[in-house]
Structure 1
Amino acid sequence: MGSTLCICSRGVITIENKRYLFIQKLGEGGFSYVDLVEGVHDGRFYALKRILCHDREDRKEALHEVEMHRLFNHPNVLTLEAHCMMEKGPKWEAWLLLPFVRGGTLWNEVEALRDKNAFLSEDRIFYILHGICLGLKAIHDQGYAHRDLKPTNVLLGDDDQPLLMDLGSMNHARIEVNGTRQAMAVQDWAAQRCTISYRAPELFNVSSSCVIDDRTDIWSLGCVLYSMMFGEGPYDMIFQKGDSVALAVQNSISIPENNRYSQGLQSLLSSMMVVNHMERPHISTILNHLEVLHPNVDGQATTRI
């Protein structure tokens, strides 16, 4: 679980026998905070994610996220540098030390361009999408699914290299549901851990006899691609207006008419956004289609707009 962590008055912390200087806060979510710290031993910047743990179940979930990180050593999955558990009175905090990625998230880039009435070029979309797919394939090949893929969970590193992060919702890719009680348990879990506007249709109304697999991520991948193409996710506005996303995802998606992107890219998007998950392609098929549509996608250089 890592070595004892101490905080000194000058903003120095120690994790696994290495010291880090607190620089500034980067952001916060519902149950976690992210700080920028600098390694005293190497001068590198890191992102320190602090997860608030109110009880034993929270601690278990935080350690699950650590375990998921430890499964991967892949250029498109964010690396966990170190971690520890810190006791704070009756509560605990799980501290995850992660690389600091200056480019921010994919959503930061999409939003910044949208505010300037600009969009990602097709070359950039292919390149970023290819990297996301490689990261997903690494996860799926280990028998897991991400379950919360969205633009805010994709970091953009140097040269637009995408890195999948926030692995706390990951679980086994294949879930066999037998019975109403299990179906409700899966549905309740998804409601808590899978962002509603990127959640696959099969997770809204879970059948009492079904198999859910890694193709929940393919639906979410389609939503991410849509956001790169059109500046927002296909169901973001529906959620913001308070309308039913659960109802909206049961209908075939309508792709806005545009001359900005090729028919091949639009067809790729349509192939991901299939309501019946058994008819969706697996990640290997998506990668094959990507590489046929854009043969040099892996080695191309990208230029930010």
Structure 2
Amino acid sequence: MGHALCICSRGTITINNKRYLSIHRLGEGGFSYVDLVEGLHDGRFYALKRIVCHDKDDRQEAMHEIEMHQLFDHPNILPLCAHAVVEKGSKHEAWLLLPFLKRGTLWQEVEALKDKGAFMPEERILAILHGLCRGLQAIHNKGYAHRDLKPTNVLLDDDDQPLLMDLGSMNQARIEVRSSREAMTLQDWAAQRCTISYRAPELFTVERDCVIDERTDVWSLGCVLYCMMFGEGPYDMIFQKGDSVALAVQNDLTVPQNTRYSPALECLLCSMMIVNPQQRPYIAGIICQLEEIQPPPAGQDTTRI
């Protein structure tokens, strides 16, 4: 575990004997916030995620996120540069030092296009989708699932490559449910940790005798693809209007009529969003369909998928 020291009067922090200058707040959520910091040893910018831990359970969850980052060295998964857990009065904070990507999230890119009255071209969608699939397959191959894939949890680098972030909801890919109690426990967990408008149907009403697997991520990936194609997730507006997302996801997806995208891309989208999880393809099947539409760029290393 890293060692940290806060020197508030100078606006700097030290992690693992390296000092970082706080620049400004990038964003905040319910129990965490992210600051832009500059490494005084290398002049590079970083995003410092601070997770507020009120008790032992919070600290364990923060350590889980750190451990998930440490599992991967992959170009489509955001790496962890350093970390520390520090005392803040009666509480603790977990600090995750992450690369700063100035282009921001996929959601910000979709919003910027909407503001211009533009839509993402199919070739770009396919390229971003390739990267998302590679990152997800790396996670699935280690026996885990992301469980909270959405456009705000995808960063874009300078080469337009996507990086998966926010790994705190990751857990084992295959979860066997053998009782009503286990089903309710998983359902409650999903309600807290899996964003409602990107949550797979099987997580809204968990059956008492079933297996939940990594294909929940394939559903969420379909929602992300829909968002890239049409400027918002398929259930975003339903949630915003206060209607039942749980009910809406039980019906087959209706793809808006358009002439921008090929029938092959629409078919790929529909295959991701099959309501019955046992009929939904695994990520390897999605990659096969994707590469039939557009092979990976020449020279791209597919061995790291």
**TM-score scaled by length of structure 2:** 0.97
Q: What aligned pairs does 1:44-83 form with structure 2 within 5 A after superposition?
A: 44-83=44-83
- Structure 1 residue 298 displacement after superposition: 6.4
Asked whether 1:164 is paired with 2:167, we answer no
Question: 2:89 maps to which residue?
Answer: 89
Q: How far apart are the structure 2 equivalents of 1:115 and 1:31? A: 30
Alignment of 1:230-269 (within 5 A): 230-269=230-269
The separation in 1 between residues aligned to 2:298 and 2:106, in whole angstroms, is 18
Distance (whole Å) between structure 2 residues aligned to residue 237 and residue 297 of structure 1: 35
Residue 142 of structure 2 corresponds to which residue in structure 1?
A: 142
Give distance in 2, aligned partners of 1:298 and 1:219: 29
Shift of 1:288: 1.2
Residue aligning to 2:195:
195
Query: How far is 1:299 from its partner?
Result: 5.8
Q: CA deviation at 1:280?
A: 0.6
Seq. identity, % = 73
Letter of the structure 2 residue corresponding to residue 56 of structure 1:
K
Contact 2:130 2:296 in 1 (8 A): no
Report matched runs for 1:169-184 at 5 Å: 169-184=169-184
Distance in 2 of aligned mates of 1:297 and 1:283 = 19
The one-letter code sitting in structure 2 at the alignment partner of 1:221 is L
Structure-1 separation of matches of 2:250 and 2:53:
36
Q: How does 1:112-123 map to 2 (within 5 A)?
A: 112-123=112-123
- 8 Å contact from structure 2 (residues 153, 166) kept in 1: yes
In structure 2, give the amino acid aligned to 1:245.
V
Letter in 1 for 2:118: A
- Structure 1 segments, 4+ long, off by >6 Å, are none
Q: 1:25 matched to which residue of 2? A: 25
Write the letter of the residue equivalent to 1:210.
C
Instruction: Go from structure 1 to structure 2 and tell me whether the alpha carbon gap of 1:176 and 1:70 turns closer, same or farther (over 3 Å shift).
Output: same
Confirm or deny: 8 A CA contact 2:271 2:281 kept in the other structure: yes
Q: Could you tell me which residue of structure 1 aligns to residue 303 of structure 2? A: none
Residue 7 of structure 1 deviates from its aligned partner by 2.1
**1:167 aligns to what SS in structure 2?**
coil
**What displacement does 1:257 show?**
0.4
Superposed CA RMSD in Å reads: 1.0
- 1:248 Cα deviation from its structure 2 partner: 0.3
Q: Tell me the residue number matched to 1:109.
A: 109
User: Could you tell me how far apart the structure 1 residues matched to 2:5 and 2:112 are?
Assistant: 38
SS of structure 1 residue aligned to 2:281: coil
